Structure 1
Amino acid sequence: MTGHLNIYGVYVPMLLVAMLAAYLVKSLLGTLLQRLGFYRWVWHPPLFNLALYVMVLGVLFNLCARLAS
């Protein structure tokens, strides 16, 4: 996934777009897991949230790479 996204003449790295999308998806998943009571079983919620973000970012990065080729 190389390249940039042109938004009205401003070039934005695709990685930044993927990171913002991953943050939004992670926030939605975190809210859903909080309402379901999943965090009662998690030892360290901030560490779990970081791992969840990294996993979502990896999935989005792979999806974007497959769609670009």
Structure 2
Amino acid sequence: MIKEIDLFGVFVPPILAYAALAGVLWFGVSTSLGWAGFYRFVWHPALFNTALYVLILAGCVFIVFR
């Protein structure tokens, strides 16, 4: 069963931890893609970044519940 995370007396849902981990991973991937010049081939960078974050978040959740 999924339990809440106790953070200094405040109970937070586990998805918050997954979202924070996905944000850190997304920042690294996005920065490296920008450095490599990948965004020149992307039509809508904001939409691409959102989709990339959702995919990374889904991957984090999938790995935890596998």
Whether TM exceeds 0.5 here: the answer is: yes
| Aligned-partner Cα distance in 2 for 1:48–1:3 | 32
Query: 1:31-50 maps to which residues of 2 (within 5 A)?
Result: 31-50=31-50
Say how many residue pairs are matched.
66
Q: Kindly report the root-mean-square deviation, in angstroms, between the aligned alpha carbons of the 2 structures.
A: 1.4
Percent identical: 39
Higher RCO (CA-CA < 8 Å; seq separation 6+): 1
Q: Give every structure 1 segment of 4 or more consecutive aligned residues whose post-TM-superposition deviation is greater than 3 Å.
A: none
Partner AA of 1:30 in structure 2: S
TM score, norm. by length of structure 1: 0.85
For structure 1, the 5+ residue unaligned runs are none
In 2, distance between residues paired with 1:11 and 1:51? Answer: 29
Unaligned runs of at least 5 residues, structure 2: none
